Every structure is written in structure tokens, then in C-alpha cells.
Copies of this chain bind each other. A is one copy, B any other.
Amino acid sequence: MTDFAATKAMFDLPPGVLYLDGNSLGPLPRSAPDRVAGMVSDEWGKMLITGWNKAGWMAQPMALGDRIGRLIGAEPGHVVLGDTLSIKVYQALAAALALNPERRVVLSDSGNFPTDLYMAAGLLRSLDKGHELRVVAPEDVADHITDEIAVLMLTEVDYGTGRMHDMVDLTRRAHAAGVVSVWDLAHSAGAVPVDLARAGADFAAGCTYKYLNGGPGAPAFIYVAPRHAGNALPALSGWLGHDSPFAFEQTYRPGTGVARMRVGTPPAIQMAALDTALDIWDMADMDDVRARSIELTDLFIQLVESTCPMLTLASPRDSAARGSQVSFRFEHGYAAMQALIDRGVIGDFRAPDVMRFGFTPLYIDHEDVRAAAAVIADVMGNRLWDRPEYQVRAAVT
């Protein structure tokens, strides 16, 4: 059994804060300041250029990929770190399209995170072969998987509502129709059990600064199924994806397996923070995390609904169809979230009217949920959001 009191003790949470936004940016592991300071002073400072070998910076994208791979059911050696999620989704989609060159439709849904749709639209435009990006409602996806579709590109857990797709079922339907699948795991990795190998997913990508707690701007990851890893030609064919980067050949030859999805120089300082954050994940079992996440989200829904009739649940009530967050709709959601943050309950707001709360069992427990629900009841019941200082929007919401 995962010892959640022990994992909670591994985080440096500010006093007085109930942090329900780990689905956007995970908090600071207690070990991170020393690990990052050591990397900067002892690795960069003392090893200088030799750190790429001696400190293992160059090998880390594959090593960290495997540490993450364990959490998402990937075969060892088939996940690599780098770039941002937008870039990794682009690479995955480009490689997936190349596996289905006769078809011209990419199917996604309106619950996908916008950057996935933007990157896809940009890719399809640059290919200039008449591809269509078909965006349907999340509940209609299954019915639209036909032999017209080249690639099914979905985010498993909806960033706004927490609604979760059935990856196993949709991937099975996709394959039955000759469709290649690309899964965005931004709100899945570390949030819900994922078994890419069992699902037979073709490509996946995700970020590491949310549930994995890698720090602001931590690099993304990409998964390529073993059956594709040897023939997927990267759209972004950078030197570190070359079979022999330091031979400085003039012609690109893709590296072995998923390593070819590397592009440029990896962010060594960010990787140190992520590396130490993943130590905490080594203490956790994903099934335990899921069971506790469901307890916490069920409790939160029950407490908030019993005290705040003005909030409308935007997340699935059925925990089996929900990720590790709970969202409520409220017309004055932005102001209400500012009032909550002022009182130490940190969630976030997603336009136009969604208040999001993430539940991360590694450091959020039942007492935190009860305390947060009490603050929400106060803010809503006493209309504390209706003060002028909460109405002005910041650049990043």
C-alpha cells in the first residue's frame, strides 16, 4: 500500500495553502532545491561541458522516459523526454499520418486542449494535401471512427471538465477501422492508471509539470509503440534524433526506436528537477493513487454540492468516467476563483466559466478536501467573490 502521509511529507507546501491546482503545476518536492542547486553548482559549475557525459545529461531523456513509462504502461525504452507537449503532439501526429497516407481526415474532439488542435491544423495546412481536422463532441467520437479517418487524436482526460475517454475501447475501434491513434496524456500521467501497451496505443505524449511535479516548464514526453518505433520518420528531424549525432554527418539518419523523436539539446536543469520529483512517484502505486483520487473527488463533489447550490458540476458524476479533477461551472467563476485563492484555496479558472480543482493524492488528503470545501462554502454562501478586486483578469488565468 502506498503511504500517502509519507508522500505528502516529501512536498514543501506553503503553510495556509490548500493546493488544488497540481493538475496545472505540481508543487515543489522538498528535495528539488538541493537537487537543482547541486546540478547547477556541481555539475554545470564543475564538470562544465563534460557534464553531458559525466553527469549523464545526454542520456537523461531516455532514462527519465523510462521512469515515466512505468506510470503509463509503456514498454521499457519506448518513451523519450524533450521539448514541449505541443511539439511532441506534432511529432506524434505527423508520424501517425505517415502511417496512413491514403486517408485525409484527423478526428479529434471539442474537449481536446486547444494547442493540440492548433498544432494539428498547422501541420495539416503545411502538408497541403487536403486533410481535414474533424472536431466532434467528445460523446460522438466513437461513432465517427470510420475507414475515412487517418488518425484519431484525443486527450484522454478533458482539461476543462475531467471527462475521461475509454482509451482501450476507442483504440480498439480505431484499429478495427484502420485508424492510427495519438493520445495526449497531459491530464492522465500520474492522474489515472494508463496502460499504453495493453490498450495498443500507437503514439502518446504528455507533460511532466502537472501530476508528475517536474516544475514550471518541465519537458514533455513522447511514446511510440514498439511496432512503429523503427519506421516512424520524425517530422522534426533534429540532430539528437540522429543515429550518430556526434558524427556530424550532413544527412539525417534516424536513431534507434523512440530516440529518433529527440530534436535538440535537452534542458538539463529542468531535467534535474523532474528527476528528483519522480523519486516520489517511486513510492506510489498507481492503483492506490487512483482509488484515493476517487475518494477525494467524490467527497469534494458531495461537500460542495451540499453547500453551494449556485455551482453546477461540470465533471462526470461517475468516477469511472472522470480523471483526477473536479470542475464546476459558475457565471462569476473567475472572480470566485480569485476570492478562493485569496483565502488559500488554489484552483484555477478556465474560460468561459469553469472553476477547476485538481486532486493529487500524493499530497492532498481528506482533511484538505474538507477544509477547502468549507472555504468554498464561505466564499459562495457569503458572495465574497462579488468584490471589485476579484473582477480584474490577469494575463494568465
Residues of A within 8 A of B (CB): 12, 14, 17, 19, 21, 24-25, 27-28, 32-33, 36-37, 40-41, 43-46, 48-53, 57-59, 83-87, 90, 94, 110, 113-115, 117-119, 121-122, 126-129, 135, 160, 207, 209, 215-220, 234-240, 242, 246-252, 263-271, 273, 341, 346, 348, 350-351, 394-397
Instruction: Please give, as numbers and ranges, the residues of chain B lying within 8 Å of A263 by CB-CB distance.
Output: 84, 86-87
Q: Are B46 and A14 in contact (CB under 8 A)?
A: yes
Pairwise interchain contact B25-A49, C-beta atoms closer than 8 A = yes
A251 and B121 CA atoms in complex are apart in Å by: 8
Which of B128, B215, B237 contacts A121 (CB under 8 A)?
B237
The smallest C-beta distance from A122 to any residue of chain B, in angstroms, reads 4
Are A216 and B21 also in contact (CB < 8 A) when A238-B84, A239-B115, A250-B114 are?
A: no
B57 to A236, Cβ gap below 8 A?
no
Contact B32 A40 (CB under 8 A): yes
List the 4 closest pairs (A to B, CB-CB), nearest first. Answer: A84-B264, A115-B239, A122-B237, A217-B267
Q: Are A33 and B45 interface neighbours, CB within 8 A?
A: yes
- Asked if B58 contacts A119 (CB within 8 A), the reply is no
Inter-subunit contact A216/B121 (CB<8 Å): no
With contacts A17-B48, A115-B264, A250-B117 taken as known, whether A271 is within 8 angstroms of B238 at the C-beta atoms is: no
Q: How far is the CA of A219 from the CA of B48 in the complex (A)?
A: 18
CA distance A85 to B238 in the complex (A): 9
Whole-angstrom CA separation of A267 from B220 in the bound complex: 11
Are B273 and A270 touching (Cβ within 8 A)?
Answer: no
Contact across chains for B83 and A216 when beta carbons are under 8 A apart: no
Shortest C-beta distance, A61 to chain B (Å), equals 10
From B46, B86, B240, B269, give the contact of A36 (CB < 8 A).
B269
Taking the closest CB of chain B, its distance from the CB of A354, in whole angstroms, is 9
For the complex, what is the distance from the CA of A48 to the CA of B396, rounded to whole Å? 13
